[in-house]
Amino acid sequence: MQFGVSTFLWTSPFTTDSFDLVYKIKEMGFDIIEVPVEKKDFVDWTKLKEVVKDCGLKVTISGAFGADRDISSENPAIRKQGLDYIIDCIKIAAEMGSPIFGGPVYSAVGKTRFISEEQKKKERTWCVENLRKAAKVAEDYGIVVGVEPLNRFESDMVNTADQALSLVQAVDSSNVKIALDTFHCNIEEKDIPTTIRKIGKDMLCHVQGNESDRGTPGTGNLDWIGIREALYDIDYQGAVVIETFGAVSEEIAKATCIWRPLANSSDELAQEGLAFYKKLFAS
């Protein structure tokens, strides 16, 4: 198993000026740096590729879906912006050697409303149409798009693995699969190991192994042994990545409802989280 950490733990947005984080993440012993694309022009991707290669790290690319990147929006212009953003991220993933581009690609984070079934169907139709377009680009670039379910407080569209499976089946592309975040699963799933087995090896493309309170892995109430055994049972070959938030921006704080520090420091969370991962998966 290979282990990674998102730059969200230290900074938002990640920019070319943040490249010192690459060396820190390598020195801590991680295999992978996960880079969220908040704005593509904030990062010199060619230079970043050189830096991570020199450090011997791998890269995974994740998305940041604000209200202006919503492929299920009522507004056609916003739907187009969302699709353009996903396509840009797929191309960045290919450039950086990331096998996946993951996130809540279907909607905007923090979009939570009580709407009619008719409206839900309209938004799902727009979402599927755009994901099919994105899937064709992903196929051309050899990238898998990971659909990540979010908890009910962050999205009203895809909260559970079953909903994600239904959406992925509607898109009907081998380049669109499921990315799981155990923090969200802990809120929405009855049993996380059962959920992992249901999704299976062929459909599970990425795991963000986050604690029940989004703090340090191993310090909360998750069934980590059960999660480990389920990943082994399906012969999961992807990464396990810490994605939580340190110095959050106002937009991220509102979207994720993080109002307090999640650990004594970002470095401590990363180091102790990685030590926990290594001990857990060495068993």
Strand, coil or helix: what is 5?
strand
Which residues, in sequence order, are CB contacts of 77 under 8 Å at separation 6+? none
For 108, the token pair is 């905007």
Neighbours of 193 (CB within 10 A): 18
Half-sphere exposure of 209 (CA within 13 A, CB side): 30
Active site residues: 148, 243
Cα angle 29-30-34, degrees, rounded to a multiple of 5: 155
* Residue from 218, 237, 190 nearest 275 by CA: 218
